[in-house]
Amino acid sequence: MSPRSPKAGPEAWLASLALAAICLISLGNVVVRYATDASFAFTEEYSVFLLVVMTFAGAAVAARSNQHIRIELIEHRLPASWLPLLYVLQWAASLLVLAIAVWYGAIFAFEEYEWESLSPGLGLPNWIYVIWLPVLCGAMMIRLTQNLIDRLRGRDNAQAEEEHYES
């Protein structure tokens, strides 16, 4: 997978970095706990945050590469002339759900910032953790739209990657 292909976009790098950080934090905590009978206080809070980032970033990658969860039974049974309508309906339903998540996530992040809420474990500002929800949902919306355009043009994932790499 080349760095310029759609699958290796910023979301893929972010998900990979989040996973690597989770592994390093958890490994460090286990080593310190067995060596000293104490543990790092920040590991749980950071690991949960990084797991959420990894999940949403991975969902954006899946949306771009047409690997998101959907019911394909209808897609495989419809005549080819109806597929563009189905693709648009799938896209619209996904966008509606993600737009709601962006809207309420942004309101929640702003309220956390405004109220100066602190995280329970480390006492860091909560908005730092929460702001990633609307940002990564927005990334998924962009990737879903790119995927819709590719599907409406009749390109599969390999063709879309090849054309993207050549441009």
Which tens digits make up the pLDDT trace of 60-70?
999 998 887 77
Question: What single string gives the DSSP state of each residue in the chain?
Answer: --TTSGGGSHHHHHHHHHHHHHHHHHHHHHHHHHHHS---TTHHHHHHHHHHHHHHHHHHHHHHTT-S---HHHHHHS-GGGHHHHHHHHHHHHHHHHHHHHHHHHHHHHHHHHHT-B-TTT--BTHHHHTHHHHHHHHHHHHHHHHHHHHHTT--HHHHHHHHHH-
Please give the model's pTM, rounded to 2 decimal places: 0.81
Pick from 96, 95, 107: nearest CA to 131: 107
pLDDT digit string, tens, across residues 119-165:
988 889 999 999 999 999 999 999 999 999 999 998 865 455 555 44
Q: To the nearest whole percent, how much of the chain has pLDDT over 70?
A: 87
